[in-house]
Amino acid sequence: MINVREKYLGSNDKMSFMDRIYLPAIFKGMFVTLKHMLFSKSVTTQYPEEKRVIAPRYRGRHVLKRDEQGRERCTACYCCAFICPASCIRIVAEEVTPEIQHNHPGEKYAKVFEIDLFRCIYCGFCQEACPKAAIFLEDIYELAVDSRDKFIIGKDVLVDKKGGPRKIRV
């Protein structure tokens, strides 16, 4: 019978005298921690004051984009809602009337656009599916709020404040 412990871990019989009295190894280890304590720099990020640099492809909270003239890009095509594996997007589409045409270039617009952040898994499928480059998962990661229903966010939170050129997905 093979002694598994001896085969893979080595047995205590094969340890040399210096190994068996433990002390040299202990002093070596103690020296390592002392060296860390005295000479190594801490790697802590002091969070609220200091923030770590996040990757360009980071997927945080969603943002609904506007175009160069400040109009909403979303045309309520439901592509994001269909592809969403967690079904966390709820859209109510409505036809664009002449009065609000200055804000909505297409024929349809999303009257209600809600995302349930409890269900969202931040997979990024919605930004891949969007034909109008309207929805992106941006670098917002401070999502704490003080009540449960604030986790279902609507257009008042989602829509970007300013417009800009079409963002290219990296």
Q: Contacts with another protein in 105-124 (CB under 8 A)?
A: none
By CB under 8 A, is residue 30 in contact with another protein?
Answer: yes
By CB under 8 A, is residue 69 in contact with another protein?
Answer: no
**Smallest gap, in angstroms, from Cβ of residue 9 to another protein?**
13
By CB under 8 A, is residue 147 in contact with another protein?
Answer: no
Stretch that binds another protein, among 28-36, 128-136, 140-148, 153-161 (CB under 8 A): 28-36
By CB under 8 A, is residue 18 in contact with another protein?
Answer: no
Q: Contacts with another protein in 38-57 (CB under 8 A)?
A: 40-44, 46
**Smallest gap, in angstroms, from Cβ of residue 3 to another protein?**
17
By CB under 8 A, is residue 97 in contact with another protein?
Answer: no
Phi-psi region of 136 (alpha: psi -120 to 50; beta: other; left: phi over 0): beta
Q: Which residues bind another protein (CB under 8 A)?
A: 23, 26, 29-30, 32-34, 36-37, 40-44, 46
